[in-house]
Every structure is written in C-alpha cells, then in structure tokens.
Amino acid sequence: MSHAFKRFNFNDSLLEAIKSINFTHPTLVQEKVIPKIQKGENVVAMSETGSGKSHAFLLPIIESIDAGQNSTQSIILAPTRELASQLFQMTNEILEHYREIRTTLFIGGTDFSKDVEKAEKSPQIVIGTPTRIKELMQEGALKIRQSKSIVIDEADLMIDLGFLEDVDILANALQEEAQFLVFSATIPEMLQQFLQKYIGHVETIIIDQPRNKASIEYLLVPVKGDDKMAKVKELTDVITPYIGIIFANSKARADELFDYLRQENLNVGIFHGGLKPRERTKEIKNIRELKYEWVIASDLAARGLDIDGASHVINYDIPRDIEFFTHRVGRVGRGQYEGVAITIYTPDEEGLIDQLEKKGYEFRHEDVKQGELQPVKSRTARVNRKKNQKDIGQDLKHKVRKPKKVKPGYKKKMSRELGELKQKARRQHAKAAKKKK
C-alpha cells in the first residue's frame, strides 16, 4: 500500500487506521509535530483551527501506548466539553484498529459516581476537561502519576475560560520526565509563565496558514444604517448552505438575532456559553444531524465546536479581537471542502475592515440584488469618490466671486453659483471617465 504516512514509520495497524479515516497526506502541522512527539520531545505549537493538529498528537500517542500495561499513560485536556467529546470520537475512530487500548471521556455535567467507576479501571488514554479530571484525581479514583504524556489543547482558550489553575494542579502531579504537548492559537503571557515552569525554553512551532485561503471566498456586504438583522435575512433568502454559522459578538446579540430569524420562519439553531449543559448537548446533536440550515453562535463555537462540512460563515458582528475572525472563517474551507465567509459591515466598522485587510485578507464586495449576490463598488471606491467630489468643490470655490458690496441674500447667490459650477465639473468628470473606459 502506497501511503504518505509511512515516512513516520507507523506500524501497520496505525496505517490501516489512517487509511480508514481517509487521510492521504499529512498536513503541515503533522509533518512538523509528529516526529518530535515520537522522539519524546516537549512540543509547543501555534496552529489555527482546521490545521489537522488533533491527529498530530493523537496518532503518535496511540502508537506509543503499551496495551499490556493497565495504567493511565496519556492525558488529553480540552477547554470545553464539546472539544473533549470531539477528541474522544476521533480517538475511538482510530482505536477501531486497536481493540486492546481503552480510552475514557471525563467531562462536567455527567454523573460523577459513574466517572469514578470508569476512572478506577485505569483507561490508558484519558480525555476530558481539566476540572472533572482534577476532581477524579483528588478523589483518588484516577491515578495519573505514571502518565507519560499530557496534551493541553487550545491552551489560550483554556486560560480565557479560567482553567489554568486546574491544569497546573494536574501538571504538578506528573513525573518530571512527562512529555508536554501544548497547542494554542496564541501564546499569552500567562501561558508563557506556565510553559517556563514545566518545560523551560522550547522553540515554538509556528504553522503559518495563509490568511486568504484559496478554498474560501471572502465577501464584504455593506449595511446602511444599522439594520444588520434585515441584511442577514436577505442573505439567508439567497443562500442555501450545507450548514451555515452566523457569528455574533455576545450571547445577548446571538439570542436577539436567533429570536428575529425564528420569527421570520428560518430553520435556525443556537450555540453559546449561556446554554445549560443539557441544552448544549441537545443543540450539538441537532447540528450534527443537520436539523438546521443555520446556527447562530458566539465565539465559543469558533473554537469550541467542530461542525463538519460547514459551507458558509456570516459575521453578523466583526470581532474586536481580529484573531477570532481567523477562527470563525476557519470553520469553512477545511480539507477538500470549499466555503464562503461573508462579513456584514456598517460605516463605523470601516476601521476593523482596514485591520483585516492589513492582516492579508482580500475581500470581494457584493450585495443582494434581484434575488442573488452581485458585485458592488468597493468601499474604497466610494471613499475616493467622496474625496474627489470634495476636492472639486474646494477647487471651484475661488471661481465664485464675493461681491464688493454685500447685499441681502448674497450667500445664497454664491452657494447657487458654486453648485452650478460643481454640477458642470461633475458632468465633465463623468465624460472624461467614460472616455478612459
């Protein structure tokens, strides 16, 4: 069997598992990370959502497990229940070819006493959220001292959600020689301090994904005034997604848009941190079963929920933290799929668009016309036009003479003359522009 993953000297069982999940070639992060994990080195990697980082650590960890040893050998931490569940699902897909290896999921919102029973059986791979795993360890049910490796996935989100103290307690319970595998979109100061404490200086592997991915169309749609809700409705009327995600900057904004679109009889779901655990579980099930066309979401979904095959993203709000824009649009255009990322903007958000363009994003300007998305003039063309008109006015002012003797109504007369000159100049400008074409 010709297999691009053979370069990592994986055993036949793992190669068969990789083939069964339809992987043909390693991604960039897998190329750089897998050999280091196989050598037992600590790894710190900056990589965006959709880069293939999960399998970059799952594959070498699974191969390293000693199935004959009845103890927990690897701990994989994720900041949300949804991410942990996805990692658990990915792991089980591979373990179809490793029946002797046991893995268990430990997350909040589940029966603690049942988790204690599972933990006492010493699964070789433990996957879960930091708080629940810490509680099981402190209960004495889960013994992690002999673990050979610990994965801290989405580490900066782990900090944002307040889990660093729990991660610190778990890391401190491991042996000094335990391997640390840390994956994060950014490396904030608190994370730097954590890394210094446990692994000292390790060169960060930075996976630079192209900002303007060829598999994604980036569209800008203008909104006059602030009626973004109506614009979202217009867009959903002309787009038929496989499944689409509409991002808002807050739970309140997401709820408000959700209620509006429901009233407009749109088939929508909702996902944000304000939902109760049972509600979140139900929504995830509905999303995965494609019961919705659109999902209204906060930024928790940009990194905390992996919606396979999403075709469209609409930014109802532009995130104030530009990095979250990257996570949002990264929900589409993954693997062999193509996607469309639409950003709605009002005049007061021009500055945020400038920032995105400086980051390397290239947008097409479109709007809904005659029941479909059609190209419109770019925002810079409108700005330049206004500047040109202003310049015309400034240039013509000197041609309107102020009368020596001021009579009543002279200002109106001057204004009228200036207006006539401007109109004449615009006509000449338009004629010249036509000739150039």
Q: Tell me: the pLDDT tens digits for 387-423?
A: 444 444 555 445 555 555 555 555 556 666 666 665 6
**Tokens encoding 295:** 């999902």
**DSSP single-letter state for residue 384:** H
Nearest 5°: the CA angle 72, 73, 79 is 85
**DSSP single-letter state for residue 341:** E
Q: Tell me: the pLDDT tens digits for 253-304?
A: 999 999 999 999 999 999 887 888 788 888 888 888 889 999 998 876 666 6
For the chain, the domains span 4-206, 216-376, 396-436
CATH class of the structural domain 4-206: alpha beta
Residue 277 pLDDT: 76
Residue 120 pLDDT: 96
Q: Where are the alpha helices (DSSP H) in 264-299?
A: 277-288
**DSSP single-letter state for residue 186:** -
Residue 378 pLDDT: 84
Residue 319 pLDDT: 86
Q: Kindly list the distances between the CA atom of residue 432 and the CA atoms of 199, 228, 254, 374, 421, in Å, as whole numbers in the listed order.
A: 67, 37, 48, 27, 16
Task: Label the pairing between strands 103-106 and 125-128.
Answer: parallel
Question: Do 4-206 and 216-376 come out as alike in CATH topology?
Answer: yes
Fold that domain 216-376 belongs to in CATH? Rossmann fold (3.40.50)
Q: Kindly list the distances between the CA atom of residue 156 and the CA atoms of 48, 198, 224, 229, 399, in Å, as whole numbers in the listed order.
A: 12, 16, 36, 32, 62
* Whole-angstrom distance, CA of residue 108 vs CA of residue 121: 19
Q: Kindly list the distances between the CA atom of residue 56 and the CA atoms of 36, 61, 75, in Å, as whole numbers in the listed order.
A: 10, 9, 15
Q: Which residues make beta-bridge pairs with 269?
A: 295
- The one-digit pLDDT tens for each residue of the chain (437 residues) are 447 899 999 999 999 999 998 888 898 999 999 999 999 999 999 877 667 899 999 999 999 999 999 999 999 999 988 889 989 999 999 999 998 999 999 999 899 999 999 999 999 999 999 999 999 999 999 999 999 999 999 998 898 888 999 999 999 999 999 999 999 888 888 999 999 999 998 889 988 666 566 788 999 999 987 789 999 999 999 998 888 999 999 889 999 999 999 999 999 999 887 888 788 888 888 888 889 999 998 876 666 666 767 899 999 999 877 778 887 888 887 766 789 999 999 998 999 999 999 888 999 999 999 889 999 988 776 555 444 444 445 554 455 555 555 555 555 566 666 666 656 665 565 555 444 44
